[in-house]
Amino acid sequence: MATIPIVVKHQGNKYNIEVDPDSTGDVFKYQLYSLTGVEPERQKILVKGGQVKDDVQMSTFDFKSGQSIMMLGTPGKDAKEISRPKEKIKFVEDMTEAEAAQQEGATPAGLTNLGNTCYLNSTLQTLRAIPELQNALVKYDPQSASTAGVIPQLDLTRQLRDLYKYMSETQEAFVPHAFLTSLRTAFPQFAERSRTGQGYAQQDAEEAWSQIVTQLRQKLHVKENAPESPQDSFIDRYMSGEFTSELECDEPAAKEGGEKPIASKETFLKLNCHIDGTTNHLRDGIANGLSEKLEKRSEILGRDAVYTKTSKISRLPKYLTVHFVRFFWKRETQKKAKIMRKVTFPHELDLVEFCDDKLKGMLVPVRDKVREVRKDEEDIERARKRRKRNAAGEDADDIPGGKGAKSDKKDDAKKPSTSADGDVEMGETYKTDAEIDAERDAALLEAKKELHALINPDLAKDDGANQSGLYELRGVVTHQGASADSGHYTAYVKKTAPTDVKTGKRKDEDGKWWWFNDDKVSEVTSDKIEALAGGGESHSALILLYRAIPLPSSEGTIE
């Protein structure tokens, strides 16, 4: 709808304003604020039939071209004088391609399919969802990574660094030819030719993920802020966990003969979700993977016997990879066949039950406090919404003190009465909504500080570990088809919240996801993720990337 020119009179001045009938009153007030310096909450705009309210549609006033209205109000004491921006405003059409790609709302770059390379594209897009990985790659120095004598084209970590850099500078699809060449040189299995025709064969995305992570584990290192601190492998710090395992013979005769269980520790880079006829949820598959049978020689029995290996988690990484073991070797077809069974998975994953007693003791107090704080936040937000609806005259029947219930204020707001000794008894005092909100916010901030204090000191020192046992889903690699060597792979990555340029803090996430289908990138809602549980040849989750939930700092704030 076309804008309507009107005149606003204020303190002897006249301001010509274009009114958009589709906008609301608060937008109109900000227009006047930019001209008069009077804050929106201090404005009183008089129109025929009443005043302009924040949530009213401007079309309801039926303004005529050239119509005059009046505004009352003066700037507050703390109002700052409106001035021109110190930095020149730069419009998107004037930006370079790299600058435009960094703006809020920019679409991330896709990757061109170079012939059955969707397995690689989906893997690269999901790994790119780890900001710490991108930061570490920027600082990667081939000279200090034991790559002396290795030509740049064969340095997989260097090629990944350059690839992510190029992808960050465009919104167009990028051709990952250099990285693909490096991968095929380092791991010839990915250079296998197709048996059915020209070109290269389709590969397993999980194998590509594992090989890339293995290379990064060897080459990419990070160090603490202290100059004398030793370097750690990036993967070991942020993406690897630890099992504490116990191996025990199933036969009672071995135990009676004095055979002791064998305890061991081992590192893991992913948790496997084993799928059988009873697996319906990710938790079931993880539990299956933490207990396994194997056959080995028993010295006590003097022969081979069946042993049970039971594992508990003794370290949880900040970024957890979960692999759905959907593919198995089918001898008849000489292919990796796919298990189609539907297995659901959560957006928030709690792994505390799978941890050993020591780690569990560290995590449970923090996890429980997190849930307590969340409930407080939900209660406060719910109360604010109720008050807002009540103020607008909506749903009053459902609100204590509304139309359907007696008001507490009527009983409380008694007139002062005189006691037997002649003293005046004062009635109850009332708090404003602002005071109530301030008290609740202060209590919530204190609860967040208490939450930080509950973090175990040993875990607090390990910035690459999960300190609560809770994870949030950040990425999914999916597969469509009946076997690993055919079909199609794509990736879903949760959108990160943009950073406020004024405060430097991150805004709230909108809950949406990017779907990377090779060079095609589109925005989807979270219900698309719910549909990736499997149950047929349609897209089903193969790899999940979880991140430890963020916890508040000692000041009670979350970065």
- Per DSSP (E only), the strands in 289-435 are 291-298, 303-315, 319-325, 327-330, 335-338, 348-350, 417-418, 424-425
Task: For the chain, state the CA radius of gyration.
Answer: 31
Active site residue 249: no
β partners of residue 7: 16, 68
β partners of residue 13: 10
Strands 319-325 and 271-274: parallel
β partners of residue 296: 305
b vs e for 238-271, b when ≥16 Cβ sit within 10 Å of the residue's Cβ? bbbbbbbbebbbebeebeeeebeeeeeeeebbbb
Distance CA 500, CA 432 (A): 30
CA trace torsion 287, 290, 293, 298 (10° rounding): -150
- Per DSSP (E only), the strands in 373-469 are 417-418, 424-425
Dihedrals φ, ψ of 211, to 5°?
Answer: -70, -40
- Per DSSP (E only), the strands in 319-469 are 319-325, 327-330, 335-338, 348-350, 417-418, 424-425
Distances (CA, A) of 15 to 22, 25, 45, 47: 21, 17, 13, 15
Token pair belonging to 139 = 């600082």
Dihedrals φ, ψ of 499, to 5°?
Answer: -95, 135
Active site residue 488: yes
Query: How far does the chain reach from its first CA to its final CA, in angstroms?
Result: 42
Q: How far is CA 14 from the centre of its chain?
A: 49
Dihedrals φ, ψ of 313, to 5°?
Answer: -85, 125
Token pair belonging to 215 = 């290379």
b vs e for 166-196, b when ≥16 Cβ sit within 10 Å of the residue's Cβ? bbbbbeebbebeebbebbeebbeebeeeeee
Report the sign of the C-alpha dihedral through residues 306, 307, 310, 314, in that order: negative
Catalytic pick among 177, 249, 488, 539: 488
Token pair belonging to 66 = 């050239």
Catalytic pick among 10, 118, 274, 452: 118
83 burial (CB, 10 Å; 0-12 / 13-18 / 19+) is: exposed
Distance CA 176, CA 120 (A): 9
Q: Could you give the residue numbers annotated as active site? A: 118, 488
